[in-house]
């Protein structure tokens, strides 16, 4: 196997001051965050944010992770007894989320800000990685700028999900894994394992860089004894840190099995070992998810650059590291997610592709132009042309709409939700659209459940209710129609995709809660006793 030097990794030789470089990287990260903050705090919740947003708040208020408005008693649901205790995912993201709520207040914007802050850290780490791999400030800054402006970053920053924090730990651990190629140090192997373990303690997607870094440990050693020694230190440290989840699992291992293990197979398709050797079923699914996520132009820039880098790597060893990191990230990405259509974790995988893009751009200019001035002009021109292709889908239209309607309550989800609550009877049991259920809960409403019809998650059909607060999701999935609701009021513009809107539906007499809280009135099973705080 090749050593780190043979693969083209930059060493640790003394370098001149990088103050200008890091100033620009910090500025890129700060601008990226500032442009997203208005939408973070004003746009209503999207898919998954209803149940990803609340566990950090219940942890802060009660000392335990749960999703209180999903009192599910269906075995086979990932939220079986989720209103009592949540073991569906590792908890580190929810701890981070709780800290954000404590500092910035209990709104969906605070949860998204936690994602954005993790994303800022990921940009800084990507800058360090790009500089280490390319040994060129110009190329590294280009990679950082395009990554920060891309769709692989835009959506994860605006979602209260663990995507960006998982990516952050991936880039952080990779810094030490790449340094290991040069130093072959047990300390670097342990530090890479520590940060990888924190990634695993955040989300199972961290298996992607666990596999990558395990292979790098094998590459780093000069003999099999050293290779296995470094890989063992890395693996043992990662497993030890990830095992902190056992503190929450051991009191109720069967609940963890039902919420996490049993559902993993249903969500992602064939078993992990089978996908590892033949991801044929997963590949077309993830290819379509990727194309939908990044759009055709960004897809062409990233994948086209990777193909060019692969061609160059055949004869030039300095290209092999970025080709390995890109292809291995994509391969293990497909293997880990299987047929699950989640998109946010491209914030990690896409980082390597943007480094490859910047490297290919620099190489193309160097191959054609002879003088330094001509190369600078050509590089800036090509980068500008590529940047023009980044504009569609970059989020500017959404930002402009919110700025234009700054005082419009329909463009301010927390205010819109407070208005809705003021219109609804305080003693009515509500079934609330996922766009608004978190804000209702954060505002203190407790007699409510989520208006959801999703077999693996939750079904409103099994519960009594008085009123449905139907937003975009519930109307699209015909939740009121399925539950025989009768429309009685409408708020907000239904035809504006950027604005908040809701239709209130009244339950038929036979479905009304009549003062019975849904967790006690559901017909899917007996309510379990609380297992107490974590």
Residue 504 parent element (H or E): strand 502-506
SS3 content of the chain, % helix, strand, coil (to 5): 65, 5, 30
pTM summary value = 0.91
Average pLDDT over residues 81-104: 95
- The per-residue pLDDT for range 446-460, each reduced to its tens digit, is 999 999 998 778 899
Q: What is the spatial distance between Cα 75 and Cα 84, in angstroms, rounded to a whole number? A: 14
Q: At what angle do helices 282-313 and 372-390 cross, to 10 degrees?
A: 170
Average pLDDT over every residue of 410-418:
95
The pLDDT value recorded for residue 522 is: 39
Confidence of residue 156 (pLDDT cuts 50, 70, 90): very high
Query: Which tens digits make up the pLDDT trace of 49-66?
Result: 988 999 999 999 999 999
DSSP 8-state symbol, 46: -
**Cα–Cα–Cα angle for 253, 255, 260, nearest 5°?**
95
Which tens digits make up the pLDDT trace of 179-190?
A: 999 999 999 999
Q: Which two tokens stand for residue 158?
A: 């605006």
Tell me the residue length of the chain.
534
Contact in structure between 262 and 78 (CB atoms under 8 Å): no
Q: Tell me how far apart the 2 most distant CA atoms of the chain are, in Å.
A: 81
Average pLDDT over all residues of the chain: 89
What is the spatial distance between Cα 168 and Cα 162, in angstroms, rounded to a whole number?
A: 10
Which one, of 164, 210, 117, lies nearest residue 346 by Cα?
Answer: 164
Return the half-sphere exposure (C-beta side, CA atoms, 13 A cut-off) of residue 349: 27
Say if CB 515 and CB 476 are below 8 A apart: no
What is the pLDDT confidence band of residue 132, given thresholds at 50, 70 and 90? very high
Question: Pick the residue with more confidence: 267 or 426?
Answer: 426
């Amino acid at each position: 196997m090749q050593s780190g030097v043979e693969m083209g990794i930059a060493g640790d030789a003394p370098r001149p001051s990088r103050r200008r470089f890091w100033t620009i990287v910090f500025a890129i990260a700060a601008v990226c965050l500032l442009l997203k903050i208005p939408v973070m705090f004003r746009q209503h919740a999207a898919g998954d944010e209803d149940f990803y947003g609340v566990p950090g708040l219940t942890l802060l208020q009660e000392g335990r992770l749960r999703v209180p408005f999903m009192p599910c008693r269906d075995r086979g649901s990932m939220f079986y007894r989720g209103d009592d205790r949540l073991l569906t995912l590792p908890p580190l993201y929810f701890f981070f989320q709780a800290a954000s709520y404590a500092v910035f207040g209990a709104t969906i914007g605070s949860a998204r800000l936690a994602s954005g802050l993790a994303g800022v850290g990921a940009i800084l780490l990507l800058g360090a990685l790009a500089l280490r791999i390319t040994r060129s400030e110009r190329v590294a800054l280009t990679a950082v700028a395009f990554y920060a402006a891309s769709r692989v970053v835009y959506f994860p920053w605006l979602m209260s999900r663990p995507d960006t924090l998982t990516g952050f730990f991936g880039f952080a651990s990779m810094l030490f894994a790449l340094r290991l190629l040069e130093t072959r140090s047990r300390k670097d192997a342990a530090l890479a394992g520590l940060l990888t373990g924190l990634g695993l303690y955040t989300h199972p997607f961290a298996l992607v860089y666990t596999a990558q870094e395990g292979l790098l440990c094998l590459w780093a050693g000069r003999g099999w004894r050293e290779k296995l020694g470094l890989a063992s230190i890395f693996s043992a440290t990662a497993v030890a840190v990830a095992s902190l989840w056992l503190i929450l699992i051991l009191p109720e291992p069967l609940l963890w099995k039902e919420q996490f293990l049993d559902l993993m197979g249903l969500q992602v398709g064939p078993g992990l070992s089978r996908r590892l050797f033949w991801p044929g079923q997963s590949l077309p699914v993830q290819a379509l998810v990727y194309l939908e996520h990044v759009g055709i132009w960004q897809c062409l820039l990233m994948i086209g650059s990777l193909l060019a880098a692969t061609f160059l790597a055949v004869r030039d060893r300095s290209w092999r590291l970025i080709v390995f990191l890109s292809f291995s990230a994509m391969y293990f990405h497909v293997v880990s997610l299987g047929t699950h259509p989640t998109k946010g974790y491209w914030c990690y995988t896409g980082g390597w592709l943007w480094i490859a893009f910047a490297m290919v751009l620099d190489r193309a200019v160097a191959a054609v132009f002879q003088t330094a001035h001509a190369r600078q002009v050509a590089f800036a021109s090509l980068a500008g042309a590529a940047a023009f292709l980044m504009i569609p889908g970059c989020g500017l239209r959404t930002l402009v709409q919110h700025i234009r309607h700054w005082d419009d309550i329909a463009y301010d989800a927390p205010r819109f939700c407070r208005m809705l609550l003021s219109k609804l009877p305080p003693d009515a049991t509500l079934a609330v659209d996922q766009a608004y259920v978190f804000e209702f809960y954060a505002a203190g409403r407790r007699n409510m459940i989520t208006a959801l019809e999703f077999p693996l998650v939750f079904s409103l059909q099994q519960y009594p209710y008085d009123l449905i607060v139907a937003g975009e999701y519930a109307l699209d999935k015909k939740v009121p129609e399925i539950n025989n609701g009768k429309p009685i009021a409408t708020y907000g513009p239904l035809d504006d995709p950027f604005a908040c809107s809701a239709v209130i539906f009244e339950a038929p007499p036979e479905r009304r809660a009549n003062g019975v809280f849904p967790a006690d009135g559901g017909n899917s099973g007996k309510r379990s006793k609380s297992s107490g705080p974590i």
